[in-house]
A and B are shown apart, each in its own frame.
Chain A
Amino acid sequence: MNETWIILGATSSMARAMARRLADDGKGLILAARDMKDVQATAADCAARGAALAEAVAFDARDPKSFEAIIDRAAREDGMVSCAVFVGSMPDQADISADPSLVDGTVMDSFTGPARFLERLAPLMEERGGGTVVGVGSVAGDRGRVGNYVYGAAKAGFHTYMSGLRNRLTRAGAHAVTVKPGFVDTAMTWGLEGMFLVASPDDVARDILRGVEKKKNVVYTPFFWRYIMRIIKSVPEPIFKKLSI
């Protein structure tokens, strides 16, 4: 059946990898990001690879006025509408501590912006009785750590939002998948110290689409992060607070 995917944050390399896979599959794509010149290149790429529709649209997580047009555009397509959220920002925790106003932007990019967008989109998905929301969170949202707790808190908020959205959409025959990537080899992590077991964006995209197909609720990618995080979550707080991991 005809399916149109809205990709929020389509300039991210994980989003690009997923869009390519959807294009190979002949799906429709509405690619939304701030950098229009770049997202137009991704749209051209997806069109050449076989996407039924590949359109670049302007989107800014901090500007809710940009949301309506995207949802209207998707509504014009027949069939199911799905959405994958790749937006988020991870300023250095030290920078946030020096300038706490950065907290707001981080939360808006990683949580409240996407949540506002998805709240508007949900009625359309319910009306059509299907489709999938993919929400890319982070293992950093599973437990607050000294190195990136503002980013982690924003992602934790988003995880909770996703679980509620899943609860809501299920009643209408739609679905929501929470994705928690570990370390992924992207521009965001390029050159960072202490990276290990780094996954490629395409590996992540493959795992996400497998999760969508199998209607998974929470996908850790690569899979072993589920076990790493289970251990990290099980450390008692009196001990955890003294660790620096």
Chain B
Amino acid sequence: MPTKTETLTGWGRALTATSEIARPERIAHVRADAPAMGMRRSYGDAPLNDGGVITDMSRLDRILGFDETTGILEVEAGMRLGELAAIFAPRGWLPSVMPGTGFATVGGAIAMDVHGKNHHGLGSFGQHVLEITLKQGETTKRVKPNSALFKATVGGLGQTGVILSAKLQMLACKGDVMMVTERRMDGWDEFLAALDASTATYTVGWIDATAKGDNLGRGILEEGETGAGLVPKPSKSKKIPFNAPHWALSKPIVKLFNAAYYRRVPDMGRTSVKPIEEFFFPLDKIHDWNKLYGKRGFHQFQCVVPIAQAPALRDMLQLIASSGLASPLAVLKRMGPGRSGYLSFPMEGYTLAVDFPNRAAAVKLIERLEDMTQAADGRLYLAKDALATGAQIKKMYPDHAKWLKEVQKADPDGHLETDMTRRLKLRSA
């Protein structure tokens, strides 16, 4: 099949790669000798293969079967989670786990073992995968949970073969609207206490990463439940037509924006009804919002630390706030223990994600934050990472050796290596 040569980036647009892209429209045309990518919503170099071939799976996005009584769905790897939500929520089912963008594909969600706003309750994406159809060379395997190959595939960065399709257990929902309660959090301690005490099915915290002193850790806690009812159709998505100038997200503008965003929610909180996609995928409404960071792109730092290490996370936030480099996009969440692959990100604790424009000072800051994460026995998220070192990552992921053993069996010649696996030297001990 013909390929097309193009220069690609991950969602952060800071790293680029020039590849020959294959884009099969039929199952029989999927190549097994090159890594696969979905919608490239990973931020760094996980979906890149500079100088090589990469397979764009987005055209293989069909529903292969759905059982209305059990909620078991079989779909091709290129299906987007947002589309699944749009199709099935009116029929009473949702993907069990949805990350912050509906553009993420099923294949990508498996390869990153993504989590969502219900991680504390339902765990990671891989925990709801019942079977993966994996193409390895000329053979196609059906991989079941609990096998070593399954654990190496879920969260496995696409290194065990090309994911063609998967069976997913969907989650029953009451309808396609969300009841959302938003409350202001005045500071760090209150925020953590509220996250710990929350009994909501879906929770997420927006944090003002520019607020210092007494306001450190202030933000908004959002709690949501699915419901039935009528809400106006979400407004049409907007596009960012060009790269924003570098000052668009400069310190004074972000500070002003964050303060206004914080005060948007009344002091006593509020509850509203929203279309489901507005709660789960708030940024998808602005297509290509990553262009707001200008042509140099941005980095997202995301770590998780154990509960007992909450003070270390507070130190990180303090460092971020005093740097004045953060963007408005900063998220704090409580995670449960759920994970299902050797290289899965989640651990019981708190996770913090902050975006930074790609500048030398921000890169230095992220390096410090990475060291602090390691010192706090925490972990960095490979779906976001573009800057860590292999030694760091291997320390954070103690099951790396088990993963490596399965990967070497599955792809001994390294056809599926990506820029990320090369940068982090993940394919060697």
Contact = CB atoms under 8 A, between A and B. Distances in A.
Q: Do A and B come from one complex?
A: yes
B253 interface: no
> Most chain-A Cβ atoms within 10 A of its Cβ — which of B3, B25, B66, B76?
B25
B4 interface: yes
A11 interface: yes
Contact of B63 (A12, A16, A44, A191): A44
B28 A35 contact: yes
Given A45-B62, A45-B63, A49-B87, A190 B28 contact: no
A190 B56 CA distance: 12
Nearest to B61: A45
A146 interface: no
Interface string A35-64: 101100110110011000000000000000
Given A187-B1, A191-B2, A41 B25 contact: no
A186 interface: yes
Interface in B28-82: 28-29, 59, 62-66, 76
Given A11-B25, A11-B26, A187-B23, A41 B3 contact: no
B256 interface: no
Contact of B28 (A12, A37, A42): A37
B63 A13 contact: no
A37 B27 contact: yes
A38 B64 CA distance: 11
Sort chain A's interface into a size bin: 10 to 19
Contacts of B63: 44-45, 48-49
Interface string A176-199: 000000000011001110000000
Contacts of B3: 190-191
A126 to B, nearest CB: 35
Contacts of B1: 187, 190
A41 B64 contact: yes
A42 B65 CA distance: 11
Contacts, number: 49
Main secondary structure of the interface of A (DSSP, over half): helix
A41 B59 CA distance: 13
Contacts of B64: 41, 44-45
Given A190-B4, A191-B2, A44 B25 contact: no
Contacts of A192: 2
Contacts of A48: 63, 65-66, 87
A45 B66 CA distance: 9
Contacts of B23: 187, 190
Interface string B1-34: 1111100000000000000000111111100000
B27 A191 contact: no
B65 A35 contact: no
Nearest to A24: B87
Interface in A6-21: 11-13, 16
A12 B63 CA distance: 17
Interface string B244-270: 000000000000000000000000000
Contact of B62 (A35, A42, A186): A42
B142 to A, nearest CB: 15
B4 A191 contact: yes
Contacts of B66: 48
A41 B62 contact: yes
A44 B5 CA distance: 33
B83 to A, nearest CB: 11
Contacts of A38: 26-28
Shortest beta-carbon contacts, A-B, top 6: A45-B62, A191-B4, A48-B63, A191-B2, A38-B26, A187-B25
Interface of B: 1-5, 23-29, 59, 62-66, 76, 87
6 contacts: A35-B28, A41-B76, A44-B63, A45-B63, A45-B64, A48-B66
Given A35-B28, A49-B87, A190-B4, 17 more contacts: A11-B26, A13-B25, A16-B25, A37-B28, A38-B26, A38-B28, A42-B62, A44-B63, A44-B64, A44-B65, A48-B87, A186-B25, A187-B24, A190-B3, A191-B2, A191-B5, A192-B2
